[in-house]
Each structure stands twice: as structure tokens, then as C-alpha cells.
Structure 1
Amino acid sequence: MDDLNMGVSLFLRRWSRGQLIALDALAGVAYAVVLLLASVPRPAMGAPLWAALLLSAATGVALAVRRLWPLLSFAVALGASLLSVLLDLVYDGFVGAAFVLYLVALTQPRRRWEPTVALGVCSASALLVLSMAGGPTPVWWTRLLGLLLGGAALLGLTWTVGRAVRERRAYAARSAEQLAGRAVTEERLRIARELHDVVAHSMSLIAVKAGIANHVAEARPEEARDALRVIEATSRGTLTEMRHLLGVMRTGTGTDAGTASDTTGGLRPAPGLADLPVLADRAAMAGVRTDLDITAATLPEGVELSVYRIVQEALTNVVRHAAPARCRVVVEADGEEVRVEVTDDGPGHRVLPGQPGHGLLGMRERAVMYGGTFSAGRRPEGGFGVSARLPYGGTGRPA
């Protein structure tokens, strides 16, 4: 089994240019030897044996150096094949020239006027007609014409195949480049979304408590000191989470995978449902009393992180735009999807007209990432509501 795996890996791995040149040299030597063995018993029409040996050697050399000088190698191989036909020496059917021409078609840039498709169709049609024409004719010029037409058809098909492989490789390279660019863009958006969720939530709480401290600093210094303690604790927690997130970026471990890196290089679990009470306590510090109703069982780590971020951003918006207010957070899961609802009894306004911000957009992106839905807006009974559904179907992988 190990020998089989080694053989498969030998053919699947990418060979270096030097190894490919060595393989071409081996193929050229083997091809020349076959032509020489075929030319010895063949009677020639007045042509000496050394001519057959010379043409066979020239064809072998052309095959061996085809990666170094493709056009020159093709000219030598084609000339040797033509002389073999004209002198009635050993005939290789233009196979050597076609072997070199394939690399020429694969490496040379394509001209705009080049009729590759038409050439392939004509070559295939010519081979089909020649195969149906019957055996060789005794008339020398018709025989010569048939050999030349057959060689031209083979070269035409080889050129078409080489061009098709070149276009396929170019298309694969363009697709890989586009996928790489898309991956970079998605990673940039993911990082921006994580940073927004972390910073916006904490800074909103800090801004609210700083305003309270400034307002009551002279009249109620104890309350001002409490607000400053909240600011200190929140800022320290935010800095810690920012260091975790930056550590993930340096090590290349995505937070959506369910882990985050700490400053010592270790990994810790990403925020999840168990951390929602901490969010509720922080919101209460800013004047938003939050009731949690969590009936979800164990969720996939990526889905759980998305739920946490949606609730975090929704509570941030309540603190920023509706405090003081009451808020209710509902998280339910049935094994196929998880439903998140965050409602408050505030005035129902979230952003200024014409300035939608990035919070709602980030929540929508997290829901859509799993093929879910998201909605947000004023409630008929008053206040504002956010609702999201994230299907995971037992896999928890982004759609």
C-alpha cells in the first residue's frame, strides 16, 4: 500500500523544470533508438543508412531540448520527418514533430488572428477522411500526398489540444486569483465586523457612563466614582478581547472557528451563549435592564459566536439609542435553526435619517452567512425589535 501511495504521489506532485527536461531527454533517446531499430531492416530507395541514422538522431535531439528551444526544436523535428518521407526512409508519422509542437502551442502566446477552432475541425475531418480512404495506393505521388496530409492533420490536432490546455490553465489561474482576492476581501470584512462588534459595544457603554460621571461629578461623587469603575472594568475587558482578536490574526486562527488566542499564545473558547449574562450586566450598568430567555441547547461553535455577536450589537444599539429602557433577549434552537430576538421598550429610533451605520449590516451579514434571515425595525406596540434566524442543520458551517 505504501508503494502504491508513493507511485501515485510521484505522478501527482509538481515536477521542477530540470526534472521535466531530464524526462524529455530520456524520451528523446528512447524515440531515437526506436527509429534506428526500425530503419536498419528497411530498404531505402538509394538513400544511405547513415542518412536514416542522422535523421533519427536529429529527431531525438529535438525532443530532448524542446523545453529549451521550442520553435527551433519543432523546426528540426518537422524537417527530419519531411526528409524521411521524401527519401523514403523510416517514417514516424510526424509523431516526433507533434510531440514538440504540443509544447510550442502550450507556451507561445496566442495571436488574435489564429484560427485554432477551425484548424482543429479541419484536422479531425482530414484524419476521418484518410481513415476511410482505404489502404496505401501503389502510385508514389498519391501515397506521398496521403502521408503529408496525415502528418498535417496530426500536427493540426496537436496544436489545437495544446492551445486548449493553455486556455484551460489560464482560466484556472484566473479563477484561483479571483478566489484568493475574494478570500482576502471576506477575511477583511470578517475582521472589520469583529472589531466593530467589540469596539462599538464597549465604547457605547463607556460613553454613557462617562456622560453620567460628568453630569453627577459634583452633586453625587460616589455615583461618579461608580461610573468610572465601570469605565475602567469595561475598557480593560475590551483591551483584553482586542488582544485576543489580534492574536488570532497573527496566528491565522479564525475566531469563527470557535477559538481565540490570548497574549501568551494559547487558545481560549470564543464568546458564546454562556457569556450572554455578562452582556446583560454591562447593559444594566448603562441603564438597560435586560431579561434573558435562553432555551437553546448546544450549538455549533461558529453559530454560537454569531448569536453572541448579534445579541451584543443589538444591546449596543439599545444602550446607544434607547437607554434607559427594558430589553428582552430570546434565544431558541430546535436542532435545525436558532432564533434570536432582541426587543426593547425605547422610543423606537436607532439611527439618523440617511445614516444607517454598520451595526444592522453586520448582524444581517452574520445571519446571511449561514443562509438565514434578519429583520429589524420599530414594533407596533412600541420600541425596537431585532430578529434573526440561523439554520445550521447539525453542521454549523457557513453557507
Structure 2
Amino acid sequence: MQAPTTPQATWSRSAERIMAAINRDPLTAPHALRNDALLAVSVAVVAAALALFVDDGRRPDALGWALLLVSHVPLVWRRRRPVLVLVAVITCVFPYHFLDYPHTAATQAAYVALYTVAVTGRPLRTVLVGIGVITMAVGVLLTISAQEALGLLKASGWVVAVLFCGVDVRFYRQYVASIVERAERAERTREEEARRRVAEERLRIARDLHDLLAHSITLIGVQTSVAAHVLSADPERLDRETVAKALDDIAETCRSARGELRTTLEVLREHGSPDARGPLPGLDGLPDLAEAARLAGARVEQTVRIRQAPPAVGAAAYRIVQEALTNAVRHAGPGPAVQVELAERQGVLHLSVRDDGTGPGRGGTPGFGLVGMRERARSVGGTLDAGPRTGGGFEVTAVLPLTTTGERDG
């Protein structure tokens, strides 16, 4: 059941319609021709009433009624050709005034035409039109009576008021249009920023998954090879302790990978803030990476001469060391010696991972590890270099600033 309409609600809707009509650009408003035709008819009715009941000239005859009513016809096209409409109205109004018909009745159409010129054109054109109309009107009335011309000159303040009102409304509409444009531009900017954040988040998750899975699968593969070698080396004297240790290492690697994978994918299930994420890996996780590489057969020496780093920088350093150790275990050959060094010098984190292995084969399929490491470094404003060492082996070096402009995930 529809609620009864209160006077306050009716007045509110009426006020909203009036403000919408004021704010709307007259050149692009819908149903302009129909509305202007209704306006012309309304103004003509008012003019006829004034001609009948206001005694400031002789009563109109057939010619006076014709000039008065015809002067309202051009108002139908006032938005399309405002200056031509004003000229047409003045062409009918001046003979009307010259023949001394009721002067008040013919001013309404002229005011509407003047307002339209002011509200649709530039201020300079409005000023020139106003001066021209006043000058022409005074000149015509001077041919009739100097007293009438002086009276019109005194009443020219109404012309100035109408022109000023039109210019003011025009500036107000431009102001409203600029506000709407800024709001739309801000909305587009927010949408673009949201899309950018989504793309960065997808890239972050892809990098995390690559680092995590590549590291874990590589360790599992090496540990499985150790168990298989022990089983096939001497079946008569099976070293059960070594096999059990290798299998325990595989299980521990799987558990660690499963936990980190769950943390990485939690962001995809998060229904709250897009920035709500689990704790980032940092420098405190480097000993676990070194231990995992040792279990895979690498001889890792780790030197860390930095106590604390911003979360984004710590996460980037963690992932770079993780990928570098993974590549060393995978490509450096059996039992490689790996040196991991992290040091702070002049507000910058210097990171290096060196091994003495043979390095990746030339015919191997290139992966995304080096690309991912460079993206990690670039995400916090740092740089990364990787390549074979002069004396043999492979080296990864990175320079990461410890003062970042924003908190960004690695």
C-alpha cells in the first residue's frame, strides 16, 4: 500500500525538479522544443492579460494584438538561435512600442529572449547585446518622446538585471558541470586503481606460488633421490636410519609447503579488506631456508649482518634467497658449497648468494626464477644481478633500499 504524500514530500520533489532544470544545460536538455513552445504560450497569455488590464498606453487594436502575439512565436526556437530570436522579438516589439500600445505587455518576451542570450553565450557577447538593445530602444523612443526615452533609460536596470541573472546561471551550471566531471574522473581513477591493485595482487600470488612450489618440489626431489640411492646402493646392508631420515625430511618439507601455501592462498578467500593478509616471511626465516638446503645436500654458510628490515624488504630478501638456494640445489650439482651473505651498508641491504657448482645447462628450458627475483627486487625499489662467476659457479646479488615509499608486498 502506497504511503500518503505529505506536503513536505511534495515540496521536496518540486524543489528537486526546479534545481534539476536550473542545473541542466539548456542546449542539451531533453524535449527542448516542446518546453519552449509551452513557455511561449504561457508568456503570451501573461502579455495578453497585461495588455487588457494595465493602462500604460492605448488599447491594442488588430495590429497591436498581431504584433504582441507574433513577438512570442520566435521563443519556440530560443535555444537553437538565441541571437536571431532576440532580433525577431525586437523587430516586433519596437513597432509595438512606437505605436504606443501598452508597454508593459511587450516586455516579457524581450526579457525571455535576453535571458536566453545571456545563459547560452559568452559574457562578452551578453554585454554587447545588452548595450545594443538599450541603445536601440532609447534611440527609437527618442523619435517619439524624449521623456519616454528617459523613462526607458531609467528602467534599463531591469535589462541589466535579466542579463546578469542569465550570466550568473550560466556560471553556476559550469560550476556544477565541473564538479560532476571531477567526480566522474575520481570514480574512473578509483576503478583504475582497483584494477591495478588486483593485477599487482595476482602477480604477487603468482610469484609466491612459484617460489614456494619450486623450492619445495626441488627439495622433495633431492631428498627422494637420496632415499632411492640408499635403497639401491646396497640392498644387503640397508641403512634404515638414513632412509627414515630422508623420508622424515620429505614429510617435513611437505608440511612446511602446505602451511605456507595455505597462508598464500588465504588472500583469495578473504572477504574483508583487500589488504588483509597473513604475516609476510622475513629475515627471521632465513635459517630455515639454509637448513632445508642442507637437508637437500648443499653446504650452506650463512652470514647475516642486519637485525631488522621493513616487512616488504624482508619478504623480498627472503624470496630471493629462497629462489637462489633452490636454483643452487637444482643446478649446481651434488653437494654444492653455497655462501649466503646479507649486510646493511649506508641504509641499503646488500644480498648475495654464491655457489661453486656447474650452473644451469645451456640447453635447459628457461624458467621464471630469475625473472621473479628481479621483480621481487624491483617491487621495493631495488636491483638484482645474476650470472656465472669468473672462477666457476653462479652468483645472485641484490641491492634493496631499507627505506621504502610504501608498504608493498614482495
TM-score (norm 1): 0.64
- Matched residue, 2:93: none
Within the alignment, does 1:346 sit opposite 2:357 as a pair? yes
Once the 2 structures are TM-superposed, how far is the Cα of residue 346 of structure 1 from its aligned partner? 0.8
Q: 1:71 aligns with which of 6, 30, 38?
A: 30
Within the alignment, does 1:139 sit opposite 2:158 as a pair? no
| 1:255/1:270 contact within 8 Å kept | no
| 1:197/1:313 contact within 8 Å kept | yes
- Matched residue, 2:289: 279
1:168–1:196 CA distance, 2 compared to 1 (3 A): same
1:10-56 superposed Cα distances (whole Å, 9 cap, x missing partner): xxxxxxxxxxxx99955966xxxxxxxxxxxxxxxxxxxxxxxxxxx
Q: Which moved more, 1:360-369 or 1:149-158?
A: 149-158
Once the 2 structures are TM-superposed, how far is the Cα of residue 182 of structure 1 from its aligned partner? 1.4
3-state secondary structure, aligned to 2:210: helix
| 1:205/1:283 contact within 8 Å kept | yes
| 1:311/1:342 contact within 8 Å kept | yes
- Matched residue, 1:241: 260
1:148–1:231 CA distance, 2 compared to 1 (3 A): same
Matches within 5 A, 1:176-187: 176-187=190-201
- Matched residue, 1:298: 308
Q: Which moved more, 1:245-254 or 1:283-292?
A: 245-254
Matches within 5 A, 1:307-322: 307-322=317-332
- Matched residue, 1:330: 341
1:61–1:291 CA distance, 2 compared to 1 (3 A): closer
Once the 2 structures are TM-superposed, how far is the Cα of residue 173 of structure 1 from its aligned partner? 3.5
3-state secondary structure, aligned to 2:302: strand
3-state secondary structure, aligned to 2:299: strand
* Percent identity (aligned): 34
1:183–1:92 CA distance, 2 compared to 1 (3 A): farther
1:128-163 superposed Cα distances (whole Å, 9 cap, x missing partner): 5468x4995582789799888777766766666565
- Matched residue, 2:65: none
Matches within 5 A, 1:209-220: 209-220=223-234
**2: CA distance between counterparts of 1:341 and 1:386?**
5
Amino acid at match of 1:189: L
Larger Rg over CA atoms: 2
Q: When the two structures are aligned, how many residues end up with a matched partner?
A: 316
- Matched residue, 1:39: none
Once the 2 structures are TM-superposed, how far is the Cα of residue 127 of structure 1 from its aligned partner? 3.6
Once the 2 structures are TM-superposed, how far is the Cα of residue 219 of structure 1 from its aligned partner? 2.8
- Matched residue, 1:381: 391
**2: CA distance between counterparts of 1:276 and 1:126?**
75
Matches within 5 A, 1:250-269: 250-251=269-270, 260=278, 269=279
| 2:299/2:337 contact within 8 Å kept | yes
- Matched residue, 1:226: 245
- Matched residue, 1:208: 222
**2: CA distance between counterparts of 1:92 and 1:216?**
105
Amino acid at match of 2:392: G
Amino acid at match of 1:342: V
**2: CA distance between counterparts of 1:323 and 1:255?**
42
- Matched residue, 1:358: 368
**2: CA distance between counterparts of 1:366 and 1:206?**
25
1:99-140 superposed Cα distances (whole Å, 9 cap, x missing partner): xx9xxxxxxxxxxxxxxxxx7xx5243245468x49955827
**2: CA distance between counterparts of 1:155 and 1:82?**
22
1:323–1:284 CA distance, 2 compared to 1 (3 A): farther
1:166–1:394 CA distance, 2 compared to 1 (3 A): closer
**1: CA distance between counterparts of 2:42 and 2:210?**
72
Matches within 5 A, 1:155-174: 167-174=181-188
- Matched residue, 2:381: 371
Once the 2 structures are TM-superposed, how far is the Cα of residue 273 of structure 1 from its aligned partner? 1.6
Unpaired runs of 5+ in structure 2?
1-7, 48-71, 73-104, 141-151
Across the aligned residues of Structure 1 and Structure 2, the Cα RMSD in angstroms comes to 4.6
Unpaired runs of 5+ in structure 1?
1-21, 30-59, 102-118, 261-268
